Amino acid sequence: MARRCYCCAFSVFAVAVAAEATLFDLDLSSLTKPPLWEPSFEEYFPGREKNEMGLTSPVVLSKPTREEFLFHARRGYPIVVADWAEDMKYTGWSCQDFAEAFPFGYMKAEYIDALPGFKRKHHDIKVIDGELRFKLGSFKPDRKTWWYNFSRPASERYKDDPLKPKQGPYVWHVKDELSPKEKLQVQERFEAPEFLQDPLNKAKMNRSFEVWFSPGAHSGAGAHNDGYCESVVSLQLRGDKRWRKMMLPKMSFLDSFDEFDGGVYEAKKWEPDLGFLNSAKGAVIWPPGYLHETSTLPPPDGKCGSALTLQYAFPQPVQFLRAFLPRLSMSAEVGHCVAMTWSGYATMQLRGIIPSPKEKKMKEQLKKILSLVDLNQDEEITVEETKTWFAKGESLALQSLPDPEFLQHKDLLIMYMAEDTVAYHDMNDDMKISKQELWDSLVQWNVVRVRMQEGLKLLNRADRQGLEAFEQSLDYLRREPLKLPSTVRPEMQDIFKLGKGTKVFKSLKGITSISDSEFWSPARDAVEDLKRRKRAQRKEL
């Protein structure tokens, strides 16, 4: 069965060939799909049933084998494993159980500013990264009631929709905010499920988990995207939680929006495509770029529910990343992952592959990859060949590992990386990369990266017309022409107001995307600074 044959008319080719390429000089007839082509939701997530709210259900697995899990997790669409936590020690733990076992922990109280009469001086508080943390073993929001028996309001902004969360949850960042000894105490009770019982995944899950506490009913987080470059798991230990999820919509520079807490509501883009209940013991797994909103059901026994959020190491949702790279690259939360984390899939971890708009350069990249990785020169790359290449010092595979301890299991690591990398390119499920598949994904990567670099230059010069014209000039590389939005995000509007030619940043060195972390946050400060200087200049005159 062809896995990713999206079976759609490909009429844009005719236009494409005739179109005048200014920046890119690609012969599109050499490609299976134009480089900015993306599947629709229905094409990528076929056959999903809709519930009474018109929302699709995720794939639900029960006691999956490793192979089953691998198959679905690589595709990347959201999955529920209904019995993930069946045999875990933490299953059934209430918030009170956590508070009594680990009173030393400090947690973040989401939406604490919405609590009437809240005064920080009344509580045992730590400030971490400029945010308040509250002690599990002593926090009483009203100075009388334990935090796990007390419902606090979520953001006022969420009152318009009964499905949005009404009460604020807590999150305890076990991984970053405990001493090594305390961390060990919390981690020693954590167990990996049967289908991820290998040292790499066990280590990654154990080190990445954080705990969410949801007192009362309708407690949860407003829709947002996480900034992780990997799939995320939310494991319900106690209580039931309703989820709504939304695939990142088609994106251009002008469509950028705040993907942080509730930003998608404000941008009026919230159109969830998945809606479902995750009951206790179940786990929800979703890929980077999938917006999500949570709200707990009223607990029958009134006890505060808990959940773990964690990440595993392999497999990654590589087929999803490959299919939706054009829009993911524009995300304000995960856009940075393209250059920082995912490029190694497209470039097969070769050194010195620089994004280029020129077909000649891309062909050189293709030739170089085939000459180094395709050992028997049959124009097909296998997992075995990729493993051999990744084990060599010349390759970048082992150069920038997210966790240096992974090297203790080098052979397993190389095998998993090789499998994910081959699956990234592989479009017909034979776990081999044909020359055509390599060419298609390599061109996509070059176009996505160059588009980001060129667009960033225009945005950095406050050139709205230039940016719009640039995006429209890429229409021949898309499935259908771009519809430019009439309004842009406030931060972008502020940049354009500076006047064409004003530079936001003196240099774009080190900025690879319009992610919040590397662009929007520093840009906000830079724009304020520019405005201040302009005002000062005016006063002097």
By CB under 5 A, the residues from 100 to 129 that bind Fe ion are none
Are 433 and 422 contacting, i.e. CB atoms less than 8 angstroms apart? yes
3-state secondary structure of 245: strand
When the beta carbons of 263 and 355 are compared against Fe ion, the nearer one is: 263
Q: Which is nearer to Fe ion, 86 or 210 (CB)?
A: 210
Q: How far is the CB of 266 from Fe ion (least distance, A)?
A: 17
Q: Which is nearer to Fe ion, 226 or 273 (CB)?
A: 226
Give the number of residues in contact with Fe ion, rule: CB under 5 A. Answer: 1
Residue type at 333 in one-letter notation: E
Quick one: DSSP state of residue 138?
A: T
CB 327 within 8 A of CB 38: yes
Q: How far is the CB of 74 from Fe ion (least distance, A)?
A: 21
Contact range with Fe ion by CB under 5 A, out of 221-229, 338-346, 370-378, 471-479: 221-229
Nearer to Fe ion, 226 or 516 (CB): 226
- Which SS3 state, helix, strand or coil, does residue 522 take? helix
Determine the Cα–Cα distance for residues 110 and 152; give it in Å rounded to an integer: 9
Exactly one of 177, 226, 333, 516 binds Fe ion (CB under 5 A); that residue is 226
Footprint on residues 188-207 left by Fe ion (CB under 5 A): none
Mention every residue, 6+ apart, whose C-beta is less than 8 A from residue 285.
73, 78, 79, 80, 81, 231, 232, 233
Three-state secondary structure call for residue 6: coil
Query: 12: part of which helix (H) or strand (E)?
Result: helix 12-18
From CA 446, how far away is CA 359, in angstroms rounded?
A: 10
Residue 226 or 518 having the CB closest to Fe ion? 226
Q: Is residue 214 a contact partner of residue 169, using CB atoms and an 8 Å limit?
A: yes
Q: Which stretch binds Fe ion (CB under 5 A): 225-233, 421-429, 462-470, 476-484?
A: 225-233
Shortest reach from residue 232's CB to Fe ion, in Å: 7
Angle between helices 464-473 and 435-460 (to 10 degrees): 170
Which C-beta is closer to Fe ion: that of 105 or that of 288?
288
* Spatial distance between the Cα atoms of 162 and 164, rounded to a whole number of angstroms: 6
Q: Looking at residues 448 to 477 of the shown chain, list those that interact with Fe ion (rule: CB under 5 A).
A: none
List of E strands, 358-503: 380-382, 432-434
Minimum distance of Fe ion from residue 173's CB (angstroms): 13
Candidates 63-71, 204-212, 218-226, 379-387: pick the segment binding Fe ion (CB under 5 A): 218-226
Binding segment for Fe ion (CB under 5 A), chosen from 219-227, 392-400, 413-421, 483-491, is 219-227
Q: Which residues pair with 274 in a beta bridge?
A: 56, 245
Least distance CB 224 / Fe ion (angstroms): 6
Q: How far is the CB of 257 from Fe ion (least distance, A)?
A: 16
518 touches Fe ion (CB under 5 A)? no
For residue 366, give both structure tokens.
């293709």
In whole angstroms, give the CA distance from residue 136 to residue 148. 9
Nearer to Fe ion, 177 or 226 (CB): 226
Write the DSSP symbol of residue 56. B
- Considering the complex, state which of residue 111 and residue 476 has its C-beta at the smaller distance from Fe ion: 111
Q: Rounded to the nearest whole angstrom, what is the least distance from the CB of residue 535 to Fe ion in the complex?
A: 39
Report the residue number, 257 or 445, with the smaller CB distance to Fe ion. Answer: 257
- Closest-CA residue to 426 (of 416, 446, 440): 440
Q: Which residue is nearest to Fe ion (CB)?
A: 226
Binding residues for Fe ion, rule: CB under 5 A, are 226
